[in-house]
């Protein structure tokens, strides 16, 4: 058995254990043990991966393994990782780990669905077979319905249904796209690497077919990556979800979209990517600017952050479509950075909401005095979000815009400049929000008696802040890891389409 | 000189007949005291059917053969489908136990088992037929006793009404079908599936015959626009019978349609003709049924529309290929049978829950399920698994079966059709989630009271849950079906 499969096995064991145990204490033990094991495995994988790369293992995917599953249909359970997947696994490990602590008081069924969601996420990032990948993708989507519908707040039923239907609608497009790619490439292999490199019986997909399947696949994943105009599930969904689910969803699940766009849509159909990138560049450009402006006018903390996510995730797709090394590396770093920052944001918002019972910024003020720890964490998350040097946001956005500006033509330049303007808008809504709720005099006397974060709450916040600072202070480590995965794909796209 | 050993080829049918006769005798000898219900209040029918299924599956010959001069065809896939139907019937019997133990049903419970098995026997003959006459006899044997089942609660107004509707439409569709067959005979001069060759001058006659035949089969599978009886009959029939109708009866008809089209109508332009017809029928079935399902408030009517749309997906497998592909694989047939197997587990599971809730509380409306999770968490959870499987959510088996049936149709070139069907899965997800929402999220002042299910229902639920969880992930099921589909087409 390949050791990557451990990322699927641990959640499976956790599900089984959760099913069997009784009592809050036992449930917590299972969750903490399991998520720690996942994080430890992710760290171990990163170290092992970098060591092996340094030692000269230069295959596109490392630790590959393949087991026949539905052989007549050429479906295999195939796993393998490159730099991008390792980075994503590490991110998922951190978010699941911190998410466990944030949802400390939740019941057993909640953790069952939560773990199933994690299972899907980890499985998605280790797969290199389109069917397996798609299966894990959908496994990750459906628990959201119950997690939001049962344990959410506000208009949770509406949000849960909207989110589920829109994302599953995306996956209907995606399934069509996968069939198109599979049969377009000869119907002999579902393996991504083989289809891309035309080995294992696959041949090049005709351009006329690519022109149909590329938009389908890209939109399919793009729905999850908050591509305009398919982003509307995101604000409602995030606002209604329980804290840890918002963290996991904005932090990891939305990255599935970007990852899939890059790994399946762009990597497998380079010519169509080249031809159609401009349409999606415009759409993602709108996401970036529109998301930022929408965040400015929101009054609910979670809505602000959700629109901010639309803007930042739009930036990920925007950078990927620039198709050059720098911009694409920036996109992957942005995924990491945004994942960590949004998770931190949602965790803090959840903790503040748990105390004040309101997320309306008009009713909150002067929290710095009352809960200094949470307030400081909030300021750090905010500064990271608007791209303060030394935190991860700066590294990511800098790389993206430098990469995007490398295109010399007017179209790309104009779009880049417009997208850049979102940085200013981000500063507007972040500073306004931070200033309004944290500083000044507390006007609500009920809030004066509130307490600061408990130890269990502080722990995930500290972990997330450390990770954000680590990327910000030592970006070469991350970009080295990510670059190893991005370069072959970008070169492949450029070589085929160029 | 007749060779009587040919009858031995039909050991599956003979075995079933033996079970029926045995039950007859038991009914006669032991069921004197109708108050206690005699022998049928035991697991005897279930055990006999289980033995029969095992017996059918054991000596698998991997070669197709003919008997009775080509009237009777047998292929390895037939065995699998018959065994699948057996399991469906077995689950029905398990579900029925509590319902049959009611005072008003105790007297007639013997009839229930025997009549059900007679319809099953009809389906057996229908599946293995090689001749239109044999096919029609099987079809009638499967339809007419079904009326008795539908109106089994004869003193309940709805049940009697459902029976009347069913018999009128079943007979009407049989008449259509028979007329279609006669036209086919006029055009080709033969009723053997493998001897149907069109005379160029009478191709329009064949076309008329084929359309009437398709219409007749459309009634049996309840495809739009021949579906109008479905909702009323499903609602009025006893829940157990509804489950049986929606899975076993429908599934066997869909498989038979595939077999007949594959054996008799693959030549020349005829294939294109029925493909065009089925194309629109599938779109109509899936889309309209989905739209109607959203508006239902009675769970059985809801399941009726859900079953119509599922039938559309099943027939998609027929589009997926009635002829072996270049590499010898029969993707369409494999996908259809696999879909049927998974659909059986999921739909029977859902009906088992509906039935046990109805038996214990008498509640059938969707809004009665509000708060079910609070009072009966295990049942609500199992229902959720089954609904997710019906909606095609991984890791449950429904995801795999949907993926494969779409893949088969896509491979056969029906890309637009697959896309429309995929969009429809989203609509279906919406209404399946409505039930999940009722059970988990909606609050109710009068939820279904907590109750303990009987052992028979538990066994039925266990079989269905095992199917929903394992059929997909265990890849060998599909792989095995694929290997025998190659020799069966």
Collect all residues of chain B within an 8 Å Cβ-Cβ radius of residue A139: 394-395
User: What number is the average pLDDT over the span B439-449?
Assistant: 84
Q: Is residue B4 assigned to a domain?
A: no
Specify burial of residue A38 (Cβ count, 10 A radius: 0-12, 13-18, 19+): buried
Nearest residue to A238 via CA among A111, A122, A144, A361: A144
Q: How far is CA A472 from CA A39, A405, A406, in A?
A: 20, 22, 23
Suggest the residue from A175, A181, A182, A212 to mutate for an interface test with chain B (most B CBs closer than 10 A): A175
DSSP state of A241: S
Alpha helices in A386-474 (DSSP H): 392-405, 410-438, 455-473
SS3 per residue for B154-199? CCCHHHHHHHHHHHHHHHHHHHHHHHHHHHHHHHHCCCEHHHCCCC
DSSP state of B63: S
Contact A176 B415 (CB under 8 A): yes
Q: State the nearest Cα–Cα gap between A187 and chain B, in angstroms.
A: 9
- Its ipTM equals 0.91
Q: pLDDT band at residue A219, thresholds of 50, 70 and 90?
A: very high
Q: Is residue B1 assigned to a domain?
A: no
Q: State the nearest Cα–Cα gap between A220 and chain B, in angstroms.
A: 12
- Whether B337 and chain A come into contact, CB under 8 Å, resolves to no
Collect all residues of chain B within an 8 Å Cβ-Cβ radius of residue A175: 403, 406, 422
On average, the pLDDT of chain B sits at 86
Collect all residues of chain B within an 8 Å Cβ-Cβ radius of residue A161: 430, 433, 437
Nearest residue to B217 via CA among B270, B254, B268, B262: B254
User: What number is the average pLDDT over the span A204-231?
Assistant: 89
Quote the pTM value. 0.93
Q: Tell whether the model's pLDDT for residue A498 goes beyond 80.
A: no
Q: Is residue B484 assigned to a domain?
A: yes
Looking at residue B119, its pLDDT comes to 94
Contact A187 B430 (CB under 8 A): no
Looking at residue B385, its pLDDT comes to 92
User: What number is the average pLDDT over the span A465-476?
Assistant: 88
Looking at residue A59, its pLDDT comes to 79
Give the one of B393, B422, B430 whose C-beta lies nearest to A176's C-beta: B422
Q: pLDDT band at residue B472, thresholds of 50, 70 and 90?
A: confident
- Whether B416 and chain A come into contact, CB under 8 Å, resolves to no
Q: Tell whether the model's pLDDT for residue B404 goes beyond 60.
A: yes
User: What number is the average pLDDT over the span B442-454?
Assistant: 83
Give the one of A131, A138, A175 whose C-beta lies nearest to B422's C-beta: A175
Q: pLDDT band at residue B41, thresholds of 50, 70 and 90?
A: low
Q: What percent of chain B has pLDDT over 90?
A: 38
- Cα-based torsion angle of the residue sequence B342, B344, B349, B351 in order, rounded to the nearest 10 degrees: 140
Looking at residue B330, its pLDDT comes to 81
Collect all residues of chain B within an 8 Å Cβ-Cβ radius of residue A164: 429, 433
- A174 contacts A221 by C-beta, under 8 angstroms: yes
Suggest the residue from A5, A71, A73, A177 to mutate for an interface test with chain B (most B CBs closer than 10 A): A73
Give the one of A135, A146, A182 whose C-beta lies nearest to B440's C-beta: A146
- A349 contacts A359 by C-beta, under 8 angstroms: yes
Contact A72 B423 (CB under 8 A): no
Looking at residue A177, its pLDDT comes to 93
Looking at residue B176, its pLDDT comes to 92
Q: State the nearest Cα–Cα gap between B319 and chain A, in angstroms.
A: 16
Looking at residue B311, its pLDDT comes to 92
Question: Higher-confidence residue: B360 or B31?
Answer: B360
Q: Pick from A64-73, B17-26, B420-429 the range whose average pLDDT is largest.
A: B420-429
Dump strand ranges (E) for B415-485.
none
Rounded Cα distance, B243 and B307, in Å: 10
Contact B479 A71 (CB under 8 A): yes
List pLDDT tens digits, range A350-398.
888 888 888 888 888 878 888 888 888 889 988 888 888 888 888 888 8
Rounded Cα distance, B399 and B377, in Å: 24
Give the one of A70, A149, A172 whose C-beta lies nearest to B423's C-beta: A172
Looking at residue B33, its pLDDT comes to 57
Looking at residue B36, its pLDDT comes to 55
List pLDDT tens digits, range B380-397.
999 999 999 999 888 899
The DSSP H or E segment spanning B358 is helix B331-361
Tokens of A5: 């499969």
Q: Tell whether the model's pLDDT for residue B71 goes beyond 90.
A: no
DSSP state of A391: S
Tokens of A362: 């008009």
Alpha carbons within 13 angstroms on the beta-carbon side of residue B244 total 29
Looking at residue B38, its pLDDT comes to 55
Contact B441 A161 (CB under 8 A): no
Q: Tell whether the model's pLDDT for residue A1 goes beyond 60.
A: no
Tokens of B366: 């969707």
Contact B407 A187 (CB under 8 A): no
Contact A176 B482 (CB under 8 A): no
Q: Tell whether the model's pLDDT for residue A242 goes beyond 70.
A: yes
Q: Is residue B3 assigned to a domain?
A: no
Rounded Cα distance, B202 and A323, in Å: 61
Q: Is residue B301 assigned to a domain?
A: yes
- CA A170, chain centre distance (Å): 16
Which residues, numbered 450 to 489 in chain B, qualify as contacts with chain A under a Cβ-Cβ cut-off of 8 Å?
Answer: 475, 478-479, 482-483
Question: Higher-confidence residue: B413 or B30?
Answer: B413
Q: How far is CA A396 from CA A313, A333, A338, A384, B152, in A?
A: 12, 5, 9, 11, 70
Tokens of B212: 């009437």
On average, the pLDDT of chain A sits at 88
- A222 contacts A280 by C-beta, under 8 angstroms: yes
Rounded Cα distance, A37 and A41, in Å: 6
Give the one of B394, B395, B407 whose C-beta lies nearest to A73's C-beta: B407
Collect all residues of chain B within an 8 Å Cβ-Cβ radius of residue A168: 425-426, 429
Suggest the residue from A18, A179, A190 to mutate for an interface test with chain B (most B CBs closer than 10 A): A179
Residue with tokens 């979800």: A241
Q: pLDDT band at residue A198, thresholds of 50, 70 and 90?
A: confident
Cβ count within 10 A of residue A327: 27
Question: Higher-confidence residue: A182 or B50?
Answer: A182
Q: pLDDT band at residue B31, thresholds of 50, 70 and 90?
A: low
Contact B441 A150 (CB under 8 A): yes
Return the minimum-mean-pLDDT range out of A259-268, B86-95, B263-272: B263-272
- Whether B411 and chain A come into contact, CB under 8 Å, resolves to yes
Collect all residues of chain A within an 8 Å Cβ-Cβ radius of residue B483: 72
Q: Is residue B2 assigned to a domain?
A: no
List pLDDT tens digits, range A318-361.
999 988 888 999 999 999 999 999 999 899 998 888 888 888 88
Q: Is residue B225 assigned to a domain?
A: yes
Contact A149 B441 (CB under 8 A): yes
Specify burial of residue B77 (Cβ count, 10 A radius: 0-12, 13-18, 19+): buried
**Beta strands A62-70 and A75-81, pairing class:** antiparallel
Tokens of B52: 């029969």
Collect all residues of chain B within an 8 Å Cβ-Cβ radius of residue A180: 410, 415
List pLDDT tens digits, range B72-89.
888 888 888 999 999 999
Give the one of B331, B407, B482 whose C-beta lies nearest to A179's C-beta: B407
User: What number is the average pLDDT over the span A41-70?
Assistant: 86
Segments forming the whole domain that contains residue B187: 9-488
**Beta strands B65-67 and B72-74, pairing class:** antiparallel
Rounded Cα distance, A197 and A490, in Å: 13
Specify burial of residue A55 (Cβ count, 10 A radius: 0-12, 13-18, 19+): exposed
Pairs of residues, one from chain A and one from chain B, whose beta carbons lie less than 8 Å apart? 81
- Whether B213 and chain A come into contact, CB under 8 Å, resolves to no
Q: pLDDT band at residue B207, thresholds of 50, 70 and 90?
A: confident
Looking at residue B309, its pLDDT comes to 92
Q: Is residue B317 assigned to a domain?
A: yes
Q: State the nearest Cα–Cα gap between B399 and chain A, in angstroms.
A: 8
Total number of domains in chain B: 1
Per the rule left: phi > 0, alpha: psi between -120 and 50, beta: everything else, B70 is left
DSSP state of A191: B
Q: Tell whether the model's pLDDT for residue B235 goes beyond 70.
A: yes
Looking at residue A235, its pLDDT comes to 87
Looking at residue A124, its pLDDT comes to 93
Q: pLDDT band at residue B220, thresholds of 50, 70 and 90?
A: confident
């Amino acid at each position: 058995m390949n050791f990557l499969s451990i990322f699927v096995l641990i959640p499976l064991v956790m599900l089984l254990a959760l099913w069997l145990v009784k009592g809050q204490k036992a449930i917590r033990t299972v969750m903490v043990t399991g998520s720690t094991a996942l994080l430890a495995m992710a760290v171990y994988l990163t170290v092992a991966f970098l060591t092996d790369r340094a030692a000269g293992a230069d295959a596109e995917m490392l630790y590959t393994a393949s087991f026949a599953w539905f052989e007549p249909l050429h479906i295999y359970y195939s796993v393998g990782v490159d730099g991008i997947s390792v980075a994503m696994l590490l991110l998922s490990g951190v978010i699941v780990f911190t998410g466990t602590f944030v949802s400390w008081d939740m019941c057993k069924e909640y953790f069952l669905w939560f773990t199933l969601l994690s299972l899907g996420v980890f499985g998605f990032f280790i797969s290199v077979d389109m069917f397996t990948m798609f299966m894990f993708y959908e496994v990750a989507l459906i628990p959201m319905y119950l997690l939001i519908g049962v344990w959410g707040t506000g208009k949770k039923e509406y949000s849960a249904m909207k989110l589920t239907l829109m994302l599953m609608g995306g996956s209907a497009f995606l399934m069509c796209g996968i069939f198109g790619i599979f049969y377009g490439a000869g119907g002999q292999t579902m393996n991504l690497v083989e289809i891309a490199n035309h080995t294992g019986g696959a041949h090049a997909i005709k351009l006329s077919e690519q022109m149909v399947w590329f938009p389908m696949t890209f939109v399919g994943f793009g729905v999850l990556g908050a591509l305009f105009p398919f982003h509307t599930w995101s604000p409602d969904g995030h606002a209604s979800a329980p804290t840890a689910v918002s963290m996991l969803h904005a932090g990891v699940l939305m990255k599935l979209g970007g990852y899939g766009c890059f790994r399946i849509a762009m990597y497998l159909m380079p010519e169509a990517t080249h031809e159609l990138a401009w349409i999606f560049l415009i759409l993602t450009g709108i996401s970036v600017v529109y998301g930022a402006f929408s965040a400015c006018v929101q009054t609910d903390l979670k809505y602000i952050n959700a629109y901010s996510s639309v803007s930042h995730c739009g930036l990920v797709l925007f950078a990927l479509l620039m198709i050059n090394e720098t911009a694409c590396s920036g996109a992957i770093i942005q995924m990491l950075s945004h994942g960590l920052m949004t998770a931190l944001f949602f965790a803090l918002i959840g903790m503040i909401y748990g105390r004040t019972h309101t997320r309306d910024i008009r009713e909150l003020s002067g929290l710095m005095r009352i809960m200094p720890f949470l307030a400081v964490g909030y300021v750090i998350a905010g500064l990271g979000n608007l791209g303060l040097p030394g935190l991860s946001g700066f590294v990511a956005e800098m790389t993206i815009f430098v990469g995007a500006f490398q295109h010399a033509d007017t179209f790309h330049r104009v779009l880049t400049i417009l997208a850049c303007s979102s940085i200013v808008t981000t500063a507007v809504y972040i500073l306004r929000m931070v200033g309004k709720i944290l500083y000044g005099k507390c006007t609500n006397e009920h809030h004066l008696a509130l307490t600061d974060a408990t130890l269990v709450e502080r722990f995930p916040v500290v972990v997330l802040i450390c990770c954000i600072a680590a990327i910000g202070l030592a970006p070469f480590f991350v970009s080295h890891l990510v670059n190893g995965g991005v370069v072959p794909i970008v070169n492949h796209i450029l070589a085929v389409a160029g | 000189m007749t060779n009587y050993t040919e009858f031995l080829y039909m050991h599956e049918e003979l075995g079933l007949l033996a079970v029926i006769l045995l039950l007859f005798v038991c009914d006669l000898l032991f069921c004197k005291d109708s108050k206690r219900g005699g022998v049928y209040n035991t697991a005897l029918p279930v055990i006999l059917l289980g033995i029969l299924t095992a017996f059918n599956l054991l000596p698998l010959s991997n070669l197709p053969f003919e008997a009775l001069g080509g009237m009777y065809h047998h292929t390895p896939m037939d065995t699998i489908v018959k065994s699948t139907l057996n399991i469906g019937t077995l689950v029905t019997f398990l579900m029925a136990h509590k319902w049959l133990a009611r005072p008003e049903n105790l007297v007639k419970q013997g009839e229930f088992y025997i009549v059900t098995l007679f319809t099953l026997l009809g389906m057996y003959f229908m599946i293995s037929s090689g001749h239109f006459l044999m096919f029609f006899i099987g079809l009638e044997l499967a339809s007419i006793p079904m009326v008795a089942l539908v109106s089994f609660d004869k003193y309940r107004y709805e049940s009697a009404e459902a029976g009347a509707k069913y018999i009128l439409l079943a007979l009407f569709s049989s008449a259509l079908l028979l007329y279609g067959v006669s036209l086919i005979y006029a055009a080709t001069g033969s009723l053997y599936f493998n001897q149907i060759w069109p005379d160029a001058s009478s191709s329009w006659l064949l076309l008329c015959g084929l359309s009437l035949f398709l219409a007749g089969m459309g009634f049996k599978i309840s495809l739009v626009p021949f579906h109008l009886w479905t909702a009323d009959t499903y609602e009025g029939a006893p829940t157990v019978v509804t489950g049986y109708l929606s899975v076993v009866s429908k599934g066997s008809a869909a498989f038979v349609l595939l077999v007949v089209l594959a054996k008799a109508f693959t030549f020349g332009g005829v294939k294109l003709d029925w493909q065009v017809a089925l194309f629109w029928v599938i779109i109509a079935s899936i889309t309209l049924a989905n739209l109607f399902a959203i508006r239902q408030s009675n769970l059985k009517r809801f399941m009726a529309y859900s079953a119509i749309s599922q039938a559309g997906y099943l027939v998609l497998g027929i589009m997926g290929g009635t002829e072996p592909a270049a590499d010898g694989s029969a993707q369409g047939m494999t996908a259809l049978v696999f879909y049927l197997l998974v659909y059986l587990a999921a739909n029977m599971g859902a009906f088992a829950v509906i039935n046990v809730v109805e038996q214990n509380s008498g509640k059938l409306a969707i809004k009665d399920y509000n708060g079910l999770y609070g009072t009966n968490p295990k049942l609500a959870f199992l229902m959720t698994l089954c609904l997710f499987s019906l909606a095609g959510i991984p890791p449950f088996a429904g995801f795999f079966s949907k993926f494969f049936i779409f893949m088969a149709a896509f491979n056969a070139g029906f890309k637009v059709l697959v896309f429309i069907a995929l969009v429809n899965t989203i609509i279906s997800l919406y209404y399946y989630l409505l039930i999940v929402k009722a059970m988990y999220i909606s609050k109710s002042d009068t939820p279904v009271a907590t109750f303990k299910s009987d052992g028979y229902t538990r066994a039925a639920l266990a079989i269905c849950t095992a199917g929903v969880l394992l059929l997909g992930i265990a890849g060998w099921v599909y792989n095995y079906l694929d290997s025998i589909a190659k020799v069966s087409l």
